[in-house]
Structure 1
Amino acid sequence: MTNWKIYDPQSPQATQKVTLPPAPPWRQPGQGRERVLATTFRPDPAVVDAVNTALYLRRPLLLTGRPGTGKSSLAHSVAHQLGLGPVIEWAVNSRSTLQEGLYQYDALARLQYIQQSSARTNVGEQDKDVEELGMFLTLGPLGTALASAHAPRALLVDEIDKSDVDLPNDLLNVLDTGRFVIPELKRAAARHPTVKISSRDNECIEVHRGEITFKEYPFVVLTSNGERDFPAPFLRRCVQCQIREPDESELQDIVAAHFDNLGEDMSTIISEFVKMRSTVTLATDQLLNAVHLLLSSDKPQSAAERQRILDTVFQGLGG
């Protein structure tokens, strides 16, 4: 590109669909994004100690910190380093329930399936219904992490502070007991003790008598932006870790992990970011966004244009 602008009202209208420039590596969908998150995260020693403590004690890791400090990236980094497979993600909101995390049952789809089925014989009809039941049950993110044959897995429960007040303790209760029950299968266990259902990873899981037990705890990362206080019993059952904002030297390392062939002027951008961050709330990924934009053109921008880019990206996050 000779000009960083894709959209320019002063330019002639495109005669065909424009080919967009490559996305930032951390904004590539799918495995590309996961790989970048896993390999570019730079934890400080306190975070490394907290991760190892959680792994030894089989306790969830409760990560707090400002947005953009890498809380979610840590889960990907640990899973990548330890070969735990793809991170299972659960984005929590105020309507999230424990059942949603464990499994989903599509009762309406099953009813429609039964109604549309061809003629059935009365003999064996109940058994067939039980077999069909597994087609409409799917393990949720928590259930998948607990039941996976490839345990231990890594489970990221994102923004747990946005959840209903009871969800955090309910979640830890399941982890403490080492099992959970699917009532729909429990009621049918006498007629059909084993039913196969699918996990979130499309893994086939055999459920015996409506109950799933697990012998290995997943590595659980609970992230919080500090929007609410948790009760002491919940905090006692977690390993707590506050991710601090990286200093200027650490930001240099983070930027270097994402980009090659950085010019000396990028040090000036980082210094300006740190100076701004002392007065308004900024996230590290805003710095990465700015660097990506400034490197997206092979034609040097003017000082005024560079400043407009920085003003666009370095918007305060409040708080």
Structure 2
Amino acid sequence: MNSGRLQERLFRGGGGTYDDSVPLPQPPPWRRPRLDDEALQQRPYLIGEKQVEVVNAALRLRRPLLVTGDPGTGKSSLAHAVAAELGLGPVLVWPVNTRATLTDALYRYDAIGRLRERQDGTDDIGSFVRLGPLGTALATQHERRPRLLLIDELDKSDLDLPNDLLFVLEEGEFTIPELARLPAEQAEVAVHVQGSQEKVRVRQGTVRCQDFPFVVITSNGEREFPAAFLRRCIRLELPRPGRAQLEGIVRAHFAEDLDQLEAQWARVQDLIQVFADRRNLGGLATDQLLHAVHLLQQGVQPEAEHLREAVLRELRSGGAR
């Protein structure tokens, strides 16, 4: 596609029909459908040597890794990078909000569905129990390796949730009361897990891990956590990437189009400088820079004021405009 064609507007806002001679451009790699394990291994993730050492300490100690830092510094992406590199299987994700409870992360029991089945003359209770992301992380492994659980934005949770997590993360087990109450002849029940058709067998209502999962917990620093919770975690602060690291991140994410990137490198460097200046004033996420570079490669001018305000707008109020 030539540069003139790239600069044509896809949406013109004037009514009429779409000109199908202008193809829709491909989205950037990070906005394409979920990648499989092999593709994830090729996804770039740049991190400093000191941060790598902290991650390895958490892996060796098999303690939860509490990752903090500004939005967009790659806290959640770190979990996916570790799982892909170590072959820990698809990341189990627990996105936390103010309504999140420990029980929801451990399992769900469909009591109404089971009641209907019993009325039909059958009673397979295991079909109505599905382990949540935390329950699945404790109950399953991936090719003889532990699973990786991402507890995303724990600082958004109810005040009691971090303390509620302590026993489960420390002991690696939990009880499903609905199964624990079953008679002796039903001591072992097969239940569903998250993210696959696999079932695991639960004895006497207790899920107990064979190997502690690797847990990555992210926080935007919106509140403090209890001391008892913090001492059970290995803490990692992800710093804002500097100019050199930003350049490396851009090159890594646009590795498929390096020739085009190099041809526009002077403009890309200007974008990086604009990004760094605005980030210092009002906070920006690194993916906003990547968005601006992608638009540049599509023939759009992200330096234009109205687009700069849309794509590189500060995340915190009070930043310069």
Normalised TM-score (structure 2)? 0.88
Of 164-173 and 226-235, more deviation after overlay is shown by 164-173
Say whether the 8 Å CA contact 2:149–2:215 is kept in structure 1: yes
Say whether the 8 Å CA contact 1:107–1:136 is kept in structure 2: yes
Amino acid at match of 2:178: E
SS where residue 6 of structure 2 aligns?
coil
SS where residue 9 of structure 1 aligns?
coil
Q: What is the CA distance between 1:46 and its match in structure 2?
A: 2.3
SS where residue 40 of structure 1 aligns?
coil
Q: In the alignment, is residue 139 of structure 1 matched against residue 141 of structure 2?
A: no
Amino acid at match of 1:197: V
Distance 1:4 1:174, change over 3 A: farther
The match for 2:188 is 194
1:270 is aligned, of 269, 272, 277, to 272
Q: What is the CA distance between 1:34 and its match in structure 2?
A: 9.4
Distance 1:32 1:56, change over 3 A: closer
Say whether the 8 Å CA contact 1:26–1:37 is kept in structure 2: no
Q: What is the CA distance between 1:209 and its match in structure 2?
A: 1.1
Distance 1:250 1:302, change over 3 A: closer
The match for 2:75 is 71
Amino acid at match of 2:133: P
The match for 1:239 is 234
What is the distance in 2 between the residues matched to 1:85 and 1:138?
19
SS where residue 191 of structure 1 aligns?
helix
Q: What is the CA distance between 1:196 and its match in structure 2?
A: 0.5
Say whether the 8 Å CA contact 1:4–1:296 is kept in structure 2: no
Q: What is the CA distance between 1:170 and its match in structure 2?
A: 1.8
Q: What is the CA distance between 1:52 and its match in structure 2?
A: 0.6
Structure 1: which 5+ residue stretches go unaligned? 121-127
Distance 1:206 1:36, change over 3 A: closer
Q: What is the CA distance between 1:220 and its match in structure 2?
A: 0.5
2:66 is aligned, of 62, 68, 72, to 62
Distance 1:19 1:105, change over 3 A: farther
What is the distance in 2 between the residues matched to 1:23 and 1:2?
14
The match for 2:206 is 211
The match for 2:170 is 176
Q: In the alignment, is residue 253 of structure 1 matched against residue 253 of structure 2?
A: no
1:314 is aligned, of 312, 315, 320, to 312
What is the distance in 1 between the residues matched to 2:306 and 2:37?
28
Say whether the 8 Å CA contact 2:278–2:314 is kept in structure 1: no
Say whether the 8 Å CA contact 1:38–1:73 is kept in structure 2: no
What is the distance in 1 between the residues matched to 2:38 and 2:227?
33
What is the distance in 2 between the residues matched to 1:315 and 1:277?
9
The match for 2:97 is 93
The match for 1:52 is 56
What is the distance in 1 between the residues matched to 2:78 and 2:183?
40
Distance 1:36 1:22, change over 3 A: farther
Say whether the 8 Å CA contact 2:173–2:206 is kept in structure 1: yes
The match for 1:123 is none
Equivalence map 1:118-137=2 (5 Å): 120=121, 128-129=122-123, 132-137=124-129
Distance 1:20 1:147, change over 3 A: same
How many residues in Structure 1 have an aligned counterpart in Structure 2? 303
Structure 2: which 5+ residue stretches go unaligned? none
Normalised TM-score (structure 1)? 0.88
SS where residue 53 of structure 1 aligns?
helix
Amino acid at match of 1:228: R
2:221 is aligned, of 222, 226, 245, to 226
Distance 1:189 1:292, change over 3 A: farther
What is the distance in 2 between the residues matched to 1:254 and 1:38?
14
Say whether the 8 Å CA contact 1:38–1:76 is kept in structure 2: no
The match for 1:108 is 112
